[in-house]
Amino acid sequence: MINLNPINQTKLFCLDKYISKLIRLFDIGKFPNKLLLTGQKGIGKSTLAYHLVNYILSLDEEFCYNKINFQINLKNHSYKTILNKSNPNLLVLDILIDKKTIDISQVRELIMKLNKSSFNTKPRFVLIDNIEFLNKNSINALLKVIEEPNFNIHFILINNNNKKILPTLISRCINYKIFLTNEESLKVANFLLEDQLENKISNDLINYYSTPGNIFNLVLFGDLNKFNLKDLNLKQFLKIIIKENYYKKDTLIKPMIFDLIEFYFRKINYSFSSNINKKYSYFLKRISDTKKFNLDEESLFIDFDEEILNG
């Protein structure tokens, strides 16, 4: 299957209206120096950002960005240097694998790099992914450099829309809200799965509220653990995940299990009784509290299994 890392995606799907507007702003000299891309995780915001950066940095290159087909040329010099993390005009800040937040030391290192002179006259970009993981100290340090950025420096911030961001940060940015329809999400997911979506997953498991990235990761999780997702419905899948504690040991499924629980309630809403409605509200609150206060998930999942899946 395709490598889902945004840095590798040379083709942009179903986000052409967004990149076209941003390219237009740059071409007429009105591109913002603080841009916030907001939307669900896995919708393609980071891929959009990399394509936008490539368009601007490769304008004077032989194999420049193809803005007709929204595609990066594999021979593109900027793409190659971004891929091997040697491009002097792009700095990337993201949460480290072994961390729970983007800490202040990462921001300080970023500021030191920004204070160094540029090697050329091209615009410089700072791409900050998963900004919901910035802690308060990191945000305060970042605000100082964002408020008055050096000449020709542009910040692109990626917000996954699942946690409140400090208003002091949002107010300093131009916010672009990114959205895909259900049809567009499935189209992109099918491309990522090389036209094998129907053969990889049952219709019952396809969450029409999900993103292409989440659908791809769900199929990848099934492949890695040798589950035939084509023969499993949502109830069976949830029971396996909870019983075998996959949410504890697999990073692909953990972010999705809360969404799958909510999706399960939506799938049975045609038969909602007042009792089920109360339980739905109850579990939604528990999910919210678990995310907000970083509570233990195990008791929540066990209760859901006993009261709803076995109810």
- Sequence ranges of the domains in the chain: 6-177, 182-309
- Predicted pLDDT of residue 252: 79
- Predicted pLDDT of residue 136: 87
pLDDT along the chain (311 residues), means of 10: 85 96 97 94 96 97 96 97 95 89 93 86 95 90 86 93 75 92 94 93 89 92 93 95 91 85 82 75 90 86 93 71
Considering the entire predicted model, what is its pTM? Answer: 0.91
- Predicted pLDDT of residue 1: 61
Distances (CA, A) of 87 to 57, 84, 95: 10, 8, 20
Report the CATH architecture of 6-177. 3-Layer(aba) Sandwich (3.40)
- Predicted pLDDT of residue 165: 76
Q: For residue 139, how far is the Cα from the chain centroid?
A: 20
Cα atoms in the Cβ-side hemisphere of radius 13 Å centred on 23: 21
- d(Cα 7, Cα 3) in Å, to the nearest integer? 9
- Predicted pLDDT of residue 264: 92
- d(Cα 104, Cα 101) in Å, to the nearest integer? 9
